[in-house]
Amino acid sequence: MALVQSYSSTSDEQGTWYETALLKRALPNLVHARHGQQGESLVIPKKKGATVSWRKFGALSAVTTALVEGVRPASTDVTVSAVTTTVAQYGAYILHTDWLDDVAKDKNLTEHAIMLGEQAGLTIDTLTRDVLIATTTIQYASTATQPSHISTSMVLSALEIAEGVATLETANCRRFGNGFYVGIVHPKVKYDMIKDTTIAAMLQNSKERGPKNPYFTWNLGEFMGVEWWQSSLAKIWLLTGTGSPAASVYGTLMFGEGAFGVGGLASEMWRSVTAEREEPNTGKRVSPVEIIYHAPGSSGIYDAHDQQGSTGWKTTYAARILDQSAMLIIKHGATL
């Protein structure tokens, strides 16, 4: 049975004196979904099924045989492969009473809409992250060869980053339009990166001096060919390491253009997740996820006294890794 938000169930709404400014909710920065490859062909028209398909043309090999005068060589074959996935609906709602709306002090319905919009963004980004961390291109830090070997000293270092970039470059992975790959790290991982002497020297000496320097902003910015994004939603496998000392395993994603795609139904497809490089996502929402409001009295005989209403959201979503060689995950420890 769904919980109904009522006046009696929200004791904080009943006091005579109260702080008018509601406490801010702390939400992670939503940075995973925003890098997915989208296109018109990935937005499914109505009544055209629920399967999204990405088509990929294979690269042509080098020609090492010289032409013979007057002789037409064989034509070059072109290979096309398809990657598919099925979209699904996601959504949630909050029930409320007419009495809550009439007598409560705060604008509950407005807050419900904001909270649900935040939840939609969090849902899409979490689902995207869980797809990406399943990549088969895995790099283990230091001497580890599996998660159980990782210790707290096996952190993300400049050498680990250089190895990851080399892996992507060896696979001829394209960089994004700004000339960089993308890396997503946890705040605790950033702590270790800042302590790395090589990274520290780069941030100090290769970046502009003054208030925009990373040591002033505490934003990593771009270095070693990677544009760095931070999110507390970055994957952590808690206490899976049995090294000395035992460590939780952190997953740092690095990828290039075309590594993964996202899609959905045209009528319910989200277009973007608002995200900053370092800031939390509080107050942000995906757009245009549908916010659905039903006023008390809109349910007919199921709400005989016009007492219950609802606010909800709904969207469709699918994410798929398109090119395993265009991404990798570095599994490592962290000292904090």
Beta bridge partners of 174: none
Identify the pLDDT of residue 75. Answer: 92
pLDDT at position 7: 42
The answer, yes or no, to whether residue 131 has pLDDT greater than 60, is yes
Percent of the chain with pLDDT over 90: 38
User: Does pLDDT of 99 surpass 70?
Assistant: yes
Residue 270 — pLDDT band, cuts 50, 70, 90? Answer: low
Q: Backbone phi, then psi, for 192, in 5-degree steps?
A: -70, -35
Phi/psi at 205 (5° precision): -100, -25
Residue by residue, DSSP assigns 187-247 as HHHHHHHHH-HHHHHHHHHSSPSSTTSHHHH----EETTEEEEE-TTS-EETT---SSSB-
Q: Of 115, 104, 99, which is closest to residue 25 (Cα–Cα)? A: 115
DSSP state of 57: E
Write down the domain spans for the chain. 26-55+79-131+263-318, 141-261+322-332
Least confident range from 219-223, 269-273, 293-297: namely 269-273
Q: Is the pLDDT of residue 173 over 90?
A: yes
pLDDT for 203-240, tens place per residue? 887 777 777 777 777 788 899 999 999 999 999 998 76
User: What CATH code is assigned to 141-261+322-332?
Assistant: 3.30.2320
